[in-house]
Amino acid sequence: MIKARISEVFESVQGEGLYLGEKQIFVRFFGCNLNCTYCDTKLDRFMEYNPHELFEEIKLYRDKYHSISFTGGEPLLHMEFLKDILKLTVKHGYKHYLETNGTLAPELEELIEYIDIVAMDLKLPSSSGMGDLWHMHEKFLKIASRKEVFLKAIICLGTLEEDLLRATALIKEVSPASILILQLNSYENHAMLSEKLSRFKDIAHQQGVTTCVIPQIHKTMGLR
């Protein structure tokens, strides 16, 4: 039976994005296909689960939850495993929330029918240090837009306005109803970034994209 490397399974509240504050079960997968300069999830351990083992652990959490958040790392690196576990959890009425870097479109295509909400990153080149991922993001967003999807972009002191404009153009073309969330880089001076975030929000609104500035609350509250 197929297995996946999972760093942790736990309950907490969503600390960022449109579902800020919602209580979720988190399944954090180990491993990522990117290495962004601002990454704040440095995973150094994991356990191997098969889908039935993971499902049994999920069932141990008996409170009322908004959804299961499949996060990472990058969950879609474990597509076949995800398909198996999603087939189990959907039968038991769980809602599925996918947190993803938005680059693995073929893998999302295999799973989109089981996903309820996609929280998709936009890796702005001047923020992430990962170069031009726009074509991958475009393919991914076209698939994700079949379901509820919102987008998140990390803004750094060095983030270029041209990258923000490229992001808004992509959203308007592919998924104009989607909301863009701007988040500050937690490793940089928050006071220096606040003015830039406000300016970027105004620019995005001028481009016709609904945009919010929502910080990562779980970090300030000491939550996982």
Q: Is the Cβ–Cβ distance between 97 and 69 less than 8 Å?
A: yes
- Check if the beta carbon of residue 28 is closer than 8 Å to that of residue 36: no
What's the pLDDT score for residue 218? 52
Question: 224 pLDDT exceeds 60?
Answer: no
The tokens describing 192, both together, are: 């220096």
CA-wise closest residue to 211 among 142, 134, 151: 151
**Residue 215 pLDDT > 90, yes or no?**
no
Count CB-CB contacts under 10 A for residue 43: 17
Q: pLDDT per residue over 107-158, tens digit each?
A: 999 999 999 999 999 999 999 999 999 999 999 999 999 999 999 999 999 9
Residue 187 has a pLDDT of 84
Tell me if the domain spanning 4-221 has CATH number 3.20.20.70. Answer: yes
The DSSP secondary structure of 74-134, one letter per residue, reads -GGGGHHHHHHHHHHHHHTT--EEEEE-S--HHHHHHHGGG-SEEEEE---HHHHS----H
Q: Residue 221's pLDDT band (boundaries 50, 70, 90)?
A: low
Say what the pLDDT of residue 43 is.
Answer: 85
Can you tell me the distance from the alpha carbon of 53 to that of 117, in angstroms, rounded to the nearest whole number?
24
Report field, pTM of the whole predicted structure over 0.85: yes
Confidence of residue 93 (pLDDT cuts 50, 70, 90): very high
